[in-house]
């Protein structure tokens, strides 16, 4: 993966609030945002459960 590609990925994660960056001299240091990451997982868990319910209804619907 190129340096530019890494930067692009980090920028997307940063916009999502999953990482944070700080300048240290000429460097940019990236840190994980653990709370954001936990929130993100919790969010996906919820959507995941909604899919489970929808699929349960789909199953009943096509199998009856």
Partner 1 sequence: MTSTDRIEKEIVLQAPKARVWRALTNAQEFGTWFRVKFDDAFAVGKSFKGTITIPGYEHVAMEVTIERMDAEELFSYRWHPYAMDPKVDYTREPATLVEFRLAETAEGTVLRIVESGFDRLPPGRRDEAFRMNDRGWSAQLKNIERHVAS
- What DSSP string describes 32-57? E-HHHHHHHHHHHHHHHHHHHHHHHH
| β-strand partners of 32 | 19
Mask for 13-52, x = binds partner 1 (CB under 8 A) = x-xxxx-----------------xx-xxxxxx-xxx-xxx
By CB under 8 A, tell whether 62 contacts partner 1: yes
11 is an interface residue for partner 1 by CB under 8 A: no
Tell me 20's DSSP state.
Answer: E
Q: Does 55 bind partner 1 (CB under 8 A)?
A: yes
For residue 29, give both structure tokens: 């240091």
- Which positions touch partner 1 (CB under 8 A)? 12-13, 15-18, 36-37, 39-44, 46-48, 50-55, 57-63
């Amino acid at each position: 993966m190129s340096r530019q590609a890494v930067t692009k990925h980090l920028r997307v994660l940063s916009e999502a609030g999953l990482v944070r960056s700080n300048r240290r001299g000429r460097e940019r240091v990236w840190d994980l945002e653990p709370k954001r990451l936990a929130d993100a997982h919790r969010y996906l868990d919820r959507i995941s459960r909604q899919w489970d319910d929808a699929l349960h209804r789909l199953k009943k619907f096509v199998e009856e």
